[in-house]
Amino acid sequence: MKDKQKIVYFNSRGHLNDETIALFAKRIMTNDESIEIPSSVIAHFEECEDCKTEILDFVEVIADSFDYVTPLLKNQIESEPKKSHQEKVKPKIRQIILSRTFRICSLAAILLVFMAVSWFVRHQVSPERLFGQYFSPYKNVITIKGTNDKKLAEGMLLYDLKMYDSAIVVFTEAFMIDSLNRDIKFYLANSLLASEMADEAVPLFYQLQQEKNGKYNIPSNWFLGLSYLKMNEIDRASLVFKEIAEQKNSYSDKAKQILRKLD
Ligand SMILES: [Zn+2]
């Protein structure tokens, strides 16, 4: 018991460490009540989206791996009695050897799977997954002033309803009339990215982040990075996120997290 209290569950950044994530995933998978999860870890799991996602990803991948491992173990236990029989081992002892071998094999296999999955989850985060984790369309900060903004208002309504395909149609019409309007351009780009049209969003975000003192400079750069991520253009995405990480704005911490995961 004394040793158990010495276990460190959190890393230096205050998140769950690799071992805890593996342990938690194992607890969920096996429903083994002898695996003790301290309440501080459970509380963190419930509060921290990042750690929760990592644990659930872990479980998901392990569940897939088990489908692969279980038949392997079955084959092993079925093929071994024959071998042992030829060696003329007494049945009782054979049973013990078998069950022990089986247990050691299963344990080793499970351990191997856990280690492999741990490595996989940590180091092979797909850009697509990262994009899903970090992207949410920019909030609506538009105040409609006059009747000239009618199209913009219509587009924003659809945008708020998350009807991005329809919003794209309306914003595109508005953009044809007034291509210098930053609001239209920015929310059109967001709608495109939300509708999986990252390649069409890129030129719009690029122009917006290039503008001197433009009101959407900072978020546009962030969304540009995410667009590249979505397009699987890792080098370009990394360049953008490095820039953001150095700038110390509200996206810098997230950019650093993504860079770490892309490493
Ligand atoms: Zn966390």
Structural domains in the chain, CATH included, are 2-124 (no CATH), 132-262 (1.25.40.10)
The pLDDT tens digits for 4-36 are: 446 789 988 889 988 888 888 888 877 778 888
* Dist. CA 39 → ligand 1 center (Å): 14
Q: Helix or strand or coil: residue 10?
A: strand
Q: How confident is the model at residue 84 (pLDDT cuts 50, 70, 90)?
A: very low
* Dist. CA 134 → ligand 1 center (Å): 15
Q: Which of 81-90, 140-149, 153-162, 204-213 has the lowest mean pLDDT?
A: 81-90
* Dist. CA 147 → ligand 1 center (Å): 47
* Dist. CA 52 → ligand 1 center (Å): 7
The whole-number pLDDT of residue 136 equals 95
Instruction: Say whether pLDDT at 102 is over 70.
Output: no
The whole-number pLDDT of residue 1 equals 43
The whole-number pLDDT of residue 83 equals 47
Q: Higher pLDDT residue, 1 or 255?
A: 255
Q: How confident is the model at residue 95 (pLDDT cuts 50, 70, 90)?
A: low
Percent of the chain at pLDDT above 90? 45
The sign one gets for the Cα dihedral 8, 9, 11, 14 is negative
The whole-number pLDDT of residue 22 equals 85
Distances (CA, A) of 196 to 19, 70, 113, 135: 35, 38, 33, 11
What tokens were used for 91?
Answer: 């049945």
Task: Taking each helix axis as running N to C, give the angle between helix 217-230 and helix 182-194, from 0 to 180 degrees, rounded to the nearest 10.
Answer: 20
* Dist. CA 14 → ligand 1 center (Å): 7
* Dist. CA 10 → ligand 1 center (Å): 9
Q: Higher pLDDT residue, 217 or 248?
A: 217
What value does the mean pLDDT take over residues 138-167? 89
* Dist. CA 126 → ligand 1 center (Å): 19
168-196: burial string, b at 16+ Cβ within 10 Å, e else:
bebbbebbeeeeebebbbbbbbbbbbbbe
* Dist. CA 76 → ligand 1 center (Å): 39
* Dist. CA 45 → ligand 1 center (Å): 7
Neighbours of 244 (CB within 10 A): 24
CA dihedral 161, 163, 166, 169 (to 10 degrees): 90
Instruction: Say whether pLDDT at 223 is over 90.
Output: yes
Q: What are phi and psi of 124, to 5 degrees?
A: -115, 45
The sign one gets for the Cα dihedral 20, 24, 27, 33 is positive
Listed residues: CB within 5 A of ion ligand 1: 15, 48, 50-51
What value does the mean pLDDT take over residues 49-71? 74
Distances (CA, A) of 188 to 1, 147, 152, 204, 263: 59, 20, 10, 8, 31
* Dist. CA 128 → ligand 1 center (Å): 21
* Dist. CA 58 → ligand 1 center (Å): 14
Mean pLDDT (the chain, rounded): 82
Q: Hunting for tokens 């071994």 — which residue is that?
A: 80
Q: Higher pLDDT residue, 65 or 161?
A: 161
